[in-house]
Homo-oligomer: A and B are copies of this chain.
Amino acid sequence: MTFCEKKAVVLLSGGLDSTTTLAIALSEGFECHCLSFAYGQRHLNELEAARDIARSFHVKNHLILRLDIGHIGGSALTGAIDVPKQRNLLEIQTGIPVTYVPARNTIFLSCALAWAEALSAPHIFIGVNAIDYSGYPDCRPEFISAFEKMANLAVKAAVEGKMPILIRTPLIHMTKADIIRTGIRLGVDYSLTHSCYDPSPDGSACGQCDSCLLRLRGFEEAGIPDPIKYATL
């Protein structure tokens, strides 16, 4: 396979941030190869959302990798710990919550790196955000920069000088409201996205976990109604 400048692997969780990231990558003219993970998350609905979103954008392809990291434990998102509810913004943004999954973005980016090399795609897009985020250490710019440095020492194509690896984080300095406004401008259908950590069996969002609260506040600040269904609103 030959080196192609405008080829990208896009990490797609099916949430608001990764969907907006995909829309941005496509608007910049990238051929997008979307990557999602079945990692034992309790909010499996996000994988269906990811499938629908990839289809709606007619992306080049969409790979769902199964990773058994749920067996590793240590998180409310994969284990038996309860997802915290109705925390205020100060609580959400102070400290690292129990929904943190150990090294999740490191593992996701590592798999994206493997696929990027196999596809000869120099760009890896990830929708991390250091403003309206849940306090996860692996969403910060210093982490991304260290990962990029490591990636360029890890893979054959980069080491042989054929293809540098670039980790692209278009949302990193945006507020949730900015992200939503950008997505709307690029035609994102947010009714397809899924953000809740603890959805009802019918797929409705709980409206009370950190992820729902950040999302709702973002839509409110953007002055746009959130099109998804909430169980409690």
Render A147-168 as a binary contact track against B, CB cut-off 8 A, 1 for contact: 1011101111011100000000
**Residue contact A71 to B67, C-beta cutoff 8 Å:** no
Which of the segments A14-22, A101-109, A224-232 contacts the partner chain?
A: A101-109
Q: Tell me whether A3 is interfacial, beta carbon within 8 Å.
A: no
Q: What is the interface residue range for chain A against chain B?
A: 35 or more
**Residue contact A72 to B115, C-beta cutoff 8 Å:** yes
Contact residues, A29-59 vs B (CB, 8 A): none
Q: Nearest Cβ in chain B — how far from A12, in angstroms? A: 16
Q: A142 vs B154: C-alpha distance in the bound complex, in angstroms?
A: 9
Q: Tell me whether A63 is interfacial, beta carbon within 8 Å.
A: yes
Q: Classify the secondary structure of A's interface with B.
A: helix
Q: Out of B106, B107, B154, name the residue touching A137 (CB < 8 Å).
A: B154
Q: Nearest Cβ in chain B — how far from A105, in angstroms? A: 7
Q: Out of B71, B103, B159, name the residue touching A65 (CB < 8 Å).
A: B71
Render A83-109 as a binary contact track against B, CB cut-off 8 A, 1 for contact: 000000000000010001111111101
Q: Nearest Cβ in chain B — how far from A212, in angstroms? A: 22
Q: Tell me whether A82 is interfacial, beta carbon within 8 Å.
A: no
Select from chain B the residue with minimum beta-carbon distance to A70.
B65
Contacts of A149 in B (CB 8 A): 146, 149-150
Select from chain B the residue with minimum beta-carbon distance to A35.
B72
**Residue contact B143 to A153, C-beta cutoff 8 Å:** yes
Q: A160 vs B140: C-alpha distance in the bound complex, in angstroms?
A: 14
Q: Tell me whether A73 is interfacial, beta carbon within 8 Å.
A: yes
Contacts of A107 in B (CB 8 A): 107, 110-111, 114
Contacts of A140 in B (CB 8 A): 153
**Residue contact B117 to A74, C-beta cutoff 8 Å:** yes
Which 3 pairs from chain A and chain B are nearest by CB?
Answer: A74-B118, A103-B114, A146-B150
Give me 18 other A-B pairs in contact (C-beta within 8 A), A66-B66, A102-B156 excluded: A65-B71, A66-B67, A69-B114, A96-B159, A96-B160, A102-B114, A102-B155, A103-B114, A103-B151, A106-B114, A106-B154, A107-B110, A107-B114, A137-B153, A137-B154, A137-B156, A137-B158, A137-B159
